[in-house]
Amino acid sequence: MTGSYPCEAVANWFIKKFQGDQKAITQLQLQKLVYIAHGWHLASSVNTDGIIAEAIFAWKYGPVIPRLWEEFAQFGSRPITDFATDEVDGHIFVPDISNHSPQAWEIQLLDYVYDVYGRLTGPQLIELTHKPGTPWHSVTEGGTKISSNKLINNSVIRDYYAQLLEELNGN
């Protein structure tokens, strides 16, 4: 079985990647990139529960992982300047995906998401995740029924990204 890392570890991977390229990333971009990585991960392997263990919900501006929102809310729409942290037994640490021994294909998948979607702005990512047929669009009935407790089931996310994968492969 692969995947299901703490969402903070996947978020920190993206933050580190953006910082390494001297690019800014906002919470909105981060939320969408982690969600997109989760979707591609679900579609790429039948033996996965996704790249993150946490549930994803359909909020006004698209798919959201509430734990990440809580972690980075203080940045608002400003660039994120700190890594997500966690606390175990009174010790604060920075979750890192490399501490969980990810498989090579999972890092390649994160690189793919960064390369393809990391260049998009927050509004462009909102538009992408709100398109008709997307999990967000389906769960919110076209954006007419939005609430912070609308769960986007992994099966819906998997089906959507599996369809994209088939289209990408020309099937």
Report the predicted TM-score, pTM, of the whole model to 2 decimal places. Answer: 0.93
Distance from C-alpha of 15 to C-alpha of 43, rounded to nearest angstrom:
24
Is 1 inside any structural domain? no
Question: Is 7:50 a contact under the CB 8 Å cutoff?
Answer: no
Is 106 inside any structural domain? yes
Query: 10 Å Cβ neighbour count for 20?
Result: 8
Domain containing 118 equals: 7-168
Phi, psi of 92 (to 5 degrees): -90, 135
Distance from C-alpha of 153 to C-alpha of 84, rounded to nearest angstrom:
25
Distance from C-alpha of 129 to C-alpha of 38, rounded to nearest angstrom:
13
How many domains in the chain? 1
Query: 10 Å Cβ neighbour count for 97?
Result: 21
Is 13 inside any structural domain? yes
Question: Is 36:30 a contact under the CB 8 Å cutoff?
Answer: no
Tokens of 111: 């690189």
Distance from C-alpha of 23 to C-alpha of 43, rounded to nearest angstrom:
28
Rounded to an integer, the average pLDDT of 34-43 is: 96
Q: What three-state secondary structure class fits 106?
A: helix
Encode pLDDT of 45-81 as tens digits.
766 789 999 999 999 999 999 999 999 999 999 999 9
pLDDT over 60 at 1, yes or no? no
Mean pLDDT rounded to a whole number for the chain: 91
Rounded to an integer, the average pLDDT of 124-144 is: 93
Is 2 inside any structural domain? no
Encode pLDDT of 15-36 as tens digits.
999 999 999 999 999 999 999 9
Encode pLDDT of 152-168 as tens digits.
999 999 999 999 999 98
Is 115 inside any structural domain? yes
